[in-house]
């Protein structure tokens, strides 16, 4: 008999450890370890050849004590309600950690969008909104794009919602195109948020990052902007980058514009002139000042953690460091910044999009980035103070602070003590 891995069971175990560290009451633990609501529905779609298919769809609201649920919608063939429950729970902690007035949710459709035509994808997206139209709302639950979901899909969902309700409600979804009530500054927000957190950590810890060396694993949406903004805003010297095919390393530094042009032309960073080839495993173990894992989950494990030589790790991917590795890194004196804060910049600009939609008044890119900096640096300072007071590492401090904020809101509402 095979026992399948349950992401939700993993998230609950993680929550149990935090609840124990916070000494939460049994009633609070029982309440917070499960979602408050979940919707499971079907979407019938007429395909281009005239046939009909029925898709399974979900929306999970883990907790909305601190504000409307917030979280992505994923279109993926392997989607499950189990993973959505876990991701919705993590969204509750993430929004609380940045101190946004939001809760946590997640949704998904079991489908393979790469096998659908554009018209089929539009019917499916509109069908998702039809099925969820009375479950979500700008003051209830606000979906955003996630795996294989684009700004165009969010635009179709917005339109469907407005047709159903007969009024303009642009804040019903975020991640919309800028020309249809989206926010400026969303494109580089995740990388920018991580760079602001790294800069604030350097400042507080007395670590001079100007001229400090950095390595970036993953050279996609996030990694490219980490390279650019790391140089522009912090004065980092990026000596190594990698993608799924391998990496490039030059201890004298990799020039951003030249490398980006190379990547765009050859579809990879490998074979970049004036750089040595390096594997992804070697990149992680380079003796750099700052390491940015910006590709995949679980890349730093109990196996390679003892060989990590970076002084600071800024995890932008989701869950790049396993709990076992985190313990080893902490014991070795590596500064591991809280992952769910480091990669919260995109989520924070999504919240700014909601705020602009609510006011029907739109901000300049400069206003967005200034507010993002303010939110990220304040959030890091709160984690730092909590970590010092509780004498725990940043990663644990971030989780404890987030869960404590949610539990406090639940108590104040009188739901559970």
Virtual CA dihedral for 352, 357, 358, 362, nearest 10 degrees?
Answer: 70
Which is nearer to ligand NAD, 125 or 343 (by Cβ)? 343
Which is nearer to ligand NAD, 305 or 410 (by Cβ)? 305
Residues 122, 141, 243, 353: which binds ligand NAD (CB under 6 A)?
A: 243
CA distances to 105, 254, 264, 272, 296 from 267, rounded to whole Å, are: 35, 17, 5, 11, 18
Q: How many CA atoms lie within 13 A of 286 on its CB side?
A: 28
Segment 274 to 293, residues that bind ligand NAD, using CB under 6 A? 280
DSSP 232: I
Are 210 and 235 in contact by the 8 Å Cβ rule? The answer is: yes
Task: Tell me if residue 106 is catalytic.
Answer: yes
* Sequence-separated (6 or more) residues with CB below 8 Å from residue 263: 219, 224, 243, 269
Minimum Å gap between C-beta 67 and ligand NAD is 20
Are 15 and 41 in contact by the 8 Å Cβ rule? The answer is: no
217 binds ligand NAD (CB under 6 A): yes
Are 104 and 28 in contact by the 8 Å Cβ rule? The answer is: no
Minimum Å gap between C-beta 319 and ligand NAD is 8
171 binds ligand NAD (CB under 6 A): no
Q: Which residue is nearest to ligand NAD (CB)?
A: 220
316 binds ligand NAD (CB under 6 A): yes
218 binds ligand NAD (CB under 6 A): yes
Residues 244, 287, 302, 306: which binds ligand NAD (CB under 6 A)?
A: 244
Q: How many CA atoms lie within 13 A of 404 on its CB side?
A: 14
DSSP 230: I
Provide the token pair at 43: 């979407």
Which one of the spans 9-17, 315-323, 362-370, 392-400 is the region binding ligand NAD (CB under 6 A)?
Answer: 315-323
242 binds ligand NAD (CB under 6 A): yes
Residues 343, 354, 357, 369: which binds ligand NAD (CB under 6 A)?
A: 343
Which is nearer to ligand NAD, 107 or 223 (by Cβ)? 223
Residues 89, 149, 294, 328: which binds ligand NAD (CB under 6 A)?
A: 294
Residues 75, 219, 352, 380: which binds ligand NAD (CB under 6 A)?
A: 219
Q: Alpha-carbon distance 95 to 73, whole Å?
A: 16
Active-site residue set = 106
The contact set with ligand NAD (CB under 6 A) reads 190, 217-223, 242-244, 280, 294-296, 316-318, 343, 346
């Amino acid at each position: 008999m095979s026992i399948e891995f349950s992401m939700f069971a993993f998230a609950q175990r993680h929550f149990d450890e935090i609840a124990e560290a916070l000494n939460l009451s049994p009633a609070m633990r029982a309440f917070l370890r499960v979602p408050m609501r979940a919707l499971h529905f079907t979407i019938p779609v007429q395909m281009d050849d005239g046939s009909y298919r029925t898709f399974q769809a979900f929306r999970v609201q883990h907790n909305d004590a601190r504000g409307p649920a917030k979280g992505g919608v994923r279109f993926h063939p392997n989607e499950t309600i189990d993973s959505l429950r876990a991701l919705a729970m993590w969204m509750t902690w993430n929004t609380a950690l940045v101190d946004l007035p939001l809760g946590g949710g997640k949704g998904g459709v079991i489908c393979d969008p790469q096998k659908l035509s554009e018209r089929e994808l539009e019917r499916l997206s509109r069908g998702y909104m039809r099925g969820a139209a009375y479950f979500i709302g700008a003051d209830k639950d606000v979906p955003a794009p996630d795996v294989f979901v684009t700004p165009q899909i969010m635009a179709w969902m917005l339109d469907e919602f407005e047709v159903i309700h007969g009024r303009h409600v642009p804040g019903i979804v975020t991640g919309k195109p800028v020309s249809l009530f989206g926010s400026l500054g969303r494109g580089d927000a995740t990388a920018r948020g991580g760079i602001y957190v790294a800069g604030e950590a350097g400042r507080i810890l007395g670590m001079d990052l100007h001229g400090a060396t950095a390595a970036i694993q993953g050279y996609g949406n996030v990694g490219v902007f980490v390279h650019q903004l790391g140089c522009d805003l912090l004065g980092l010297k990026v000596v190594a980058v990698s993608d799924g095919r391998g990496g490039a390393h030059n201890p004298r530094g990799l020039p951003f514009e030249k490398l980006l042009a190379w990547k765009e032309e050859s579809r990879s960073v490998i074979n970049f002139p004036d750089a040595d080839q390096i594997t992804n495993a070697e990149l992680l173990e380079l003796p750099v000042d700052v390491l940015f894992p910006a590709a995949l989950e679980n890349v730093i494990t109990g196996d390679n953690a003892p060989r990590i030589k970076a002084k600071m790790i800024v995890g932008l991917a989701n869950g790049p460091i396993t709990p076992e590795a985190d313990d080893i890194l902490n014991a070795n004196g590596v500064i591991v910044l809280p992952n769910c804060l480091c990669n919260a910049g995109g989520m924070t600009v999504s919240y700014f999009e909601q705020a602009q939609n609510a006011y029907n008044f739109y901000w300049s890119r400069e206003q967005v980035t200034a507010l993002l900096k303010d939110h990220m640096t304040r959030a890091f300072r709160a984690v730092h103070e909590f970590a010092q007071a509780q004498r725990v590492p940043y990663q644990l401090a971030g989780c404890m602070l987030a869960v404590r904020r949610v539990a406090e809101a639940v108590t104040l509402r009188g739901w559970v003590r």
